[in-house]
A and B are shown apart, each in its own frame.
Chain A
Amino acid sequence: MNTPTNLTRRDFIKVSSVAGAGLVLSFYLPSKGEPLGAAAAAPAFAPNAWLTIDTNGIVTITVARSEMGQGVLTSMPMIVAEELEADWKNVRVIQAISHPTKYGSMSTGGSFSVRGSWQNLRNAGAAARELLIAAAAQTWGTETSACRAENGTIIHTSGKKLSYGELASKAATMRVPTSLKLKDPKDFKILGKRLRKLDTPSKVNGSAKFGSDIRVPGMLFASVERCPVFGGKVTSFDAAKAKALQGVRDVVQIDSGIAVVATSTWAAFQGRKALTVQWNEGQFAGQNSAAIWKSFEEAAKSKGSIEDYAGSAENALTSAAKKVEAIYYAPLIAHATMEPMNCVADVRSDRCEIWVPTQSPQQVAGEAARILGFPLDKVRVNTTLLGGGFGRRLQTDYSSDAVRVSKAIGAPVSVVWTREDDMQHDWYRPCTYNVLTGGIGKDGWPVAWLHRVVGPGSRGLVVGGSTPPYALPNFQIDSHIKDIGVPIGAWRSVGPSQNGFVVESFIDELAYAAKKDPFEYRRHLLAGSARLRRALEVAAEKAGWGKPLPAGVGRGIAAVESFGSAVAEVFEVSVEKSGKVKIHRIVAAVDCGPVVNPDTLEAQVEGGIVYSLSAVLKDEITIARGRVEQNNFDDYRILTIDEMPKVETHIIPSTESVGGIGEPGLPPVAPALCNAIFAATGKRIRRLPIRPADLQ
């Protein structure tokens, strides 16, 4: 990593000084989806993040991604600080305010923040370091080669020192070097270290501000009564009783329903209960879960759009020595962030300010501008801390509520969804119906793999992650996308969250059908996929794969590469007579390339496993009469501390490219668990969530 980075692009790292304020360095970060290194080809200077060093030596890094617990407000500064040779104690972070272009995409998703910024954050830190060295060399009248940076100071070979604070203003007048030497990873002092997150202190004393904690002068509180059926509309309403309640100030109709505006959240909630609303429930009023599955089953009888293929699976199947068929079901599931959806908006005659826990501040701004008919530069969006995101906060339905209510009442307002609103008006992970057909040859190796998937939402949400990582000479994936009238969105780990279950369960079925060890079967078929195979091997080795287990205990394995990282997991489970699954041990092996903060990595893997386990063991959103049947945490249950299994996370030292870590821990959970259940009981789980009745 010692190779010089070419910085002919002086136009994309810019240096300036703010009067008496030290050094300001602007640099470029690629947007989501843009290939790494694209910065070099950026046609013009497009500053979208800043590093500043003030005269006291305080380094401030602006982060344009949202903090939802994944640690981005700490990991991104760590990368800059490493190359900068900053004193970590002097590093501060601020959250960027939304801007249409300055930062590129500000969306936080796809586990993209670190991997999308890694190279450019390093370049920015290194560029600032070289400027400081140049400033010191000039001050001392010496060569830059006689100076080195260390822990917030430039040190001369003679031993004399100048701090970054002392050098900042002069550094701002230096020329940005045309090539940069990035540090050798063996010299890293910050990256790879277990640093505590910068925002932790605020989260143990109540001072951290989430969206629902924002208070602005003159602010009122509102709660919106929505049609319980998706797509339904208000036909009439009577607000007389609600308006008579103490604390209720107003009742207004907005696009999404009837908003009760009050002097407190509680009064707004009470006002809603006093409303009488007539709804036109719309075309999905008769929708129910059984009908959805039935329609999927019908659709699956015909061939859908081909999504991916190799060879000719249909032909190969006819000559297979053995055919294996299975149908897999993944249910609708909700995000259920601990902080329900909420937003504060202050709409004035010619501008609007918004405070919102969002993963998509630019989309929030765009929607607000559209609703209000304002130019984009009249909308300012402040991203607060997010009380969980998991993909739910990529949507703008809840921010638009606040914009509409504030516009209607002419005052700033905090719209807070109840837990029931949040549960019943989510953008759910798609439910999918999967028909799998596999053929194995006489030697047991797969000769054909057919996967037909039917589900709602976008193609990516339904199909993502369905291509098997294995060396399959003939495979085919086809899909039917069916609208079911239920909002569908990205759920932490997206397509791979359900397709990982399908693919990694079915390969297990083929292994058993071939009478081969499921670990060895995968390993053999991953010969061309070194990174995933390595993760598989490490997980198996750490878990003691093949070693004897007590009677009734089974081991299952699964490996999925997603969001740029390879993760394999081994579960050890037994099943009680009641059908209750007992998880004895979880071993995870992770290759995400260079590791920014191992502590955060472990937290994300562990957290991802818990998030996924709640879904696999407990959760399903069901529809009846066009409505979501679940209400709150009493009927949509999440894992509790006493149910938390032991998770061992093994980080694989890796020189692979940098990968994400917020999501890749999830996809192997369902299949590794279900494969372990099969090993323990001989019962194959093909429908989630796991029901004790299926295992009695």
Chain B
Amino acid sequence: MTPITLTVNGKKHTVEVSPDTPLLWVLRDTLGLTGTKYGCGVAQCGSCTVLLNGDAIRSCVTTIADCQEKSVTTIEGLSADSTHALQKAWIEDDVPQCGYCQSGQIMAAAALLATHPRPTDQQIDDAMQGILCRCGTYPRIRRAIHRAAAQKGGKS
């Protein structure tokens, strides 16, 4: 088994797991970062969304081998103290209900704002429609993304 080296939330890790292990389970079971959630295992719900070199990816279908020498950001690493504009907006709009999907929602939104600092509703739909929420927090997610974009002073 070849050790695989990757950076997670700014910290370098070397893990020795089967190379086909999905990143999700390395995060949760090997590194103890349980903020990233398992929902479907087949890239259908988005609860496991993290950033890989800045792109939103589904960690349940991304093998650890594909993360070699790459940088992963999870919800735990989005900010040191919950002060990312999205986290502040999420609290301001009291978005979560059960909360299980929210890590994935916030990480997908973070990738969206990185490329579209002032997203339109259509751009929010396109970026977020793969992240399911069973509690129905969608209107608040939309509101919070707009709020975060405004707070960051993003220009469209």
> A residues bordering B, Cβ < 8 Å?
68-71, 196-197, 199-210, 212-213, 215, 221, 246-247, 263-266, 269, 336-340, 385-390, 416, 418-419, 599, 603, 606-611, 632-634, 638-642, 644, 646-647
Contacts and interface: CB of A to CB of B under 8 A. Distances in A.
A642 B131 CA distance: 11
Contact of B103 (A70, A197, A206): A206
Nearest to B47: A338
B149 interface: no
Contacts of A609: 136
A370 B133 CA distance: 36
Contacts of A221: 29
Contact of A611 (B25, B34, B41, B134): B134
B49 interface: no
B75 A633 contact: no
A213 B24 CA distance: 13
Contact of B87 (A204, A387, A647): A204
A423 to B, nearest CB: 10
B40 interface: yes
A606 B91 contact: no
B14 interface: no
A606 B93 CA distance: 14
A69 B135 contact: yes
Nearest to B39: A338
Contacts of A203: 96, 99, 102
| Most chain A C-beta atoms within 10 Å of own C-beta, residue among B44, B86, B129, B134 | B134
B91 A338 contact: no
A415 to B, nearest CB: 13
Contacts of B30: 264
Nearest to B18: A246
B128 interface: yes
Nearest to B92: A196
5 residue pairs, one from A and one from B, having the closest CB atoms? A206-B35, A610-B136, A69-B97, A387-B100, A69-B98
Given A206-B103, A213-B34, A263-B29, 16 more contacts: A201-B82, A204-B95, A204-B106, A212-B37, A246-B1, A264-B21, A264-B30, A266-B29, A337-B100, A419-B40, A606-B139, A610-B138, A633-B44, A640-B130, A641-B124, A642-B128
B76 A607 contact: no
Contact of A196 (B47, B94, B133): B94
A251 to B, nearest CB: 18
A71 B97 CA distance: 7
Interface residues of B, number: 62
A243 to B, nearest CB: 16
A267 to B, nearest CB: 8
Interface string B113-146: 0000000000011101111111111111110000
Contacts of A386: 98
B33 interface: yes
Contact of B97 (A265, A607, A644): A607
Contact of A641 (B1, B36, B125): B125
Could you say which of A70, A196, A204, A263 has the most chain B C-beta atoms within 10 Å of its C-beta?
A: A204
A614 to B, nearest CB: 8
A70 B97 CA distance: 6
Contacts of A418: 41
24 contacts: A196-B91, A200-B94, A201-B82, A203-B99, A204-B96, A205-B82, A205-B87, A206-B34, A206-B76, A213-B34, A264-B30, A265-B38, A336-B134, A337-B134, A387-B37, A419-B41, A606-B136, A608-B136, A609-B136, A610-B135, A632-B40, A634-B42, A640-B132, A641-B142
A599 B93 CA distance: 9
A649 to B, nearest CB: 11
Nearest to A419: B40
B57 to A, nearest CB: 17
Contacts of A416: 38
B136 to A, nearest CB: 3
Contacts of A634: 42, 44
Contacts of A603: 94, 97, 135, 137, 140
A611 to B, nearest CB: 6
B152 interface: no
A681 to B, nearest CB: 26
Contact of A204 (B42, B47, B82, B126): B82
A640 B129 contact: yes
A263 B18 CA distance: 12
B33 A206 contact: yes
B135 A388 contact: yes
B4 interface: no
Nearest to B88: A204
B13 interface: no
Contacts of A207: 35, 76
A633 B32 CA distance: 26
Given A197-B94, A265-B28, A638-B132, A632 B34 contact: no
Nearest to B1: A246
Nearest to B144: A204
A486 to B, nearest CB: 21
Contacts of B132: 338, 633, 638, 640
A605 to B, nearest CB: 9
A207 B76 CA distance: 8
A204 B34 CA distance: 13
Nearest to B87: A204
A338 B136 CA distance: 11
Contact of A340 (B21, B38, B137): B38
Contacts of A208: 99
Contacts of A204: 75, 82, 86-87, 90-91, 95-96, 102, 106
B45 A641 contact: no
Contacts of A212: 34, 37-38
B129 A641 contact: yes
Nearest to B22: A266
Contacts of B40: 419, 632-633
Q: Which of B82, B94, B98, B128 has the most CB of A within 10 A?
A: B98
B78 interface: yes
Contacts of A644: 136, 138-139
